[in-house]
Chains A and B, each alone.
Chain A
Amino acid sequence: MVMEGNLELKEIQILEGHTDRVWGLAWNPTTGVDGIPPMLASCGGDKTVRIWQQQASSGNWDCKVLEDIHTRTVRTCSWSQSGKFLATSSFDATTGIWENFGENFECVSTLEGHENEVKCVAWNSSGSLLATCSRDKSIWIWEVQPGNEFDCISVLQGHTQDIKMVQWHPSLDILVSVSYDNSIKVWEEDDDSDDWHCVQTLGESKCGHSSTVWGISFNVSGDKMATCSDDNTIKIWNTPTESTQTSPNGLGSWEHVSTLSGYHSRTVFSVDWSRDGIIASGGADDAICLFAKSAESLVDGPSYELVLKKEKAHDMDVNAVKWNPTVPRLLASASDDGTVKIWQLVRVYKCAQP
């Protein structure tokens, strides 16, 4: 008898409640530890945000609905590092800030300024800054002030089309944006002033994407990032830790490492790098793919291989995939089919008959 271990993505829960497509997901980073069950926020075309949390006693997932603030689609949501605040970006051109009072959530601030759809919102690692991006081609950096006040400290211009997503570096105040103009931009604050500048643009001429870039995710240490695109590929980027050309924050410039193509047959909308190094991706082909660094490393850098493809993970497009930051190998996915699914990546041992 031979024991063979195969990785399998096991669907452990389907969360139903949204009445339209689900666009965004965010795990509360302070849950899933110390006996607190994991808490997940989802948002979508029904203009609501839903907060899901598994009850320790029954095992059922409770749902709280946050509504009546946004008047159009809620595109993304993001938890502050403290787990106390949830920010929501909406097609209604505003960003909502919700405070978590334990039993209930209250909208404590609404950020206005963008001309049209706010497509993404993200907190920096310390929770002191917020970035928003829009179809108006600009990125706004907001500073958190006492009393739930948010001051816009900088408006970043540079993309020539709408910006799909912004993401902060896991430990440094470096922001990365991805756009309908096919490019990826890296932004940093100047050493001597409060101004923010684009320090690098990764376009098609630098092995970048050939169509809209939809998503970006850093690895846990922040020396690599993955981006995904309408060109059906995922690209891996690396910044040398020992570089002669460093930015104010001490990171070198980003270089293309690898292109994962031929795995998704339509647009890849979302990519997420787990703490233990597994890259999840979801796309318009209804599939979820998982990638990991290959065992045999190449002379010119690491290579990545497909470890699992879950066809028909949802009945329609997969818009978001998110690893739980505290519970290992727990993945959430959101879809046009209106559902959120919770998956556990497990190794299955099969006994092969002699």
Chain B
Amino acid sequence: MSGGLINANPTVYSKQERRTRKTKAEDEYTRDLIDSEEIFDHIRDIKDPEHPYSLEELKVVRENDIEVSSKQDYVRVNFTPTVEHCSMATIIGLSLRVKLMRSLPSRFKVDILVAPGTHATEASVNKQLNDKERVAAALENPNLLEMVDECLAPSY
């Protein structure tokens, strides 16, 4: 890429230690409750669109910024772009949405939002990421889907 990176020198943080997940469902009749730790495990290894680092290493996603209501089958992820004018914010958001769409039971409702005050065009990025028609159309675009799949590759 010769056009110059949006954020040439991002701060890289160390990864959180990986916990072995306790088996919560004691028997097959108990529905395993999904919590923020599990959501974080799904998305922490997604690669940043322009750096060889994970979203966890760049602190774009943090476990504390995930809200889960397992009873209501609801997940909200706030993510923090590395710079305020990051034009990659929509690609990151799209990657988060696709990963959760593919990982969670279909009954789950997911909101993906830029953490308040961390992006110059927060409202418009959020509106786009949560318009399912726009998301559906974007994912039918082969170039965009390829970009998203590249970001998602390390997370499987």
Q: Which residues of A contact B (CB under 8 A)?
A: 21, 45, 72-73, 75, 91, 116-117, 119, 135, 162, 164, 180, 211-212, 230, 266, 284-285, 315-317, 336-337
Contact = CB atoms under 8 A, between A and B. Distances in A.
B106 A73 contact: no
Contacts of A72: 137, 140
Q: Which 8 A-B pairs have the closest CB atoms?
A: A72-B140, A117-B137, A91-B137, A316-B106, A91-B140, A73-B136, A315-B107, A73-B140
Interface stretch (B1-9, B19-27, B36-44, B126-134): B126-134
Nearest to A315: B107
30 contacts: A21-B136, A72-B140, A73-B136, A73-B137, A73-B140, A75-B133, A91-B136, A91-B140, A116-B137, A117-B137, A119-B133, A135-B137, A162-B134, A164-B133, A180-B127, A180-B131, A211-B127, A212-B127, A212-B131, A230-B131, A266-B109, A284-B109, A284-B132, A285-B109, A315-B107, A316-B106, A316-B107, A317-B132, A336-B106, A337-B106
A336 B133 CA distance: 11
Interface of B: 106-107, 109, 127, 131-134, 136-137, 140
Contacts, number: 34
A91 B140 CA distance: 9
A9 to B, nearest CB: 20
Contacts of B106: 315-316, 336-337
Q: Report which residue of B106, B133, B137 has the largest number of chain A beta carbons within 10 angstroms of its beta carbon.
A: B133
B110 to A, nearest CB: 11
Nearest to A20: B136
A73 B135 CA distance: 12
Contacts of A73: 136-137, 140
A277 B106 CA distance: 34
Contacts of A116: 137
Nearest to A316: B106
Contacts of B137: 72-73, 91, 116-117, 135
A211 B107 CA distance: 24
A230 B133 CA distance: 12
Nearest to B111: A266
A148 to B, nearest CB: 28
Nearest to A285: B109
B129 to A, nearest CB: 12
Contacts of A91: 136-137, 140
A230 B134 CA distance: 13
A73 B132 CA distance: 13
Contacts of A337: 106
Contacts of A230: 131
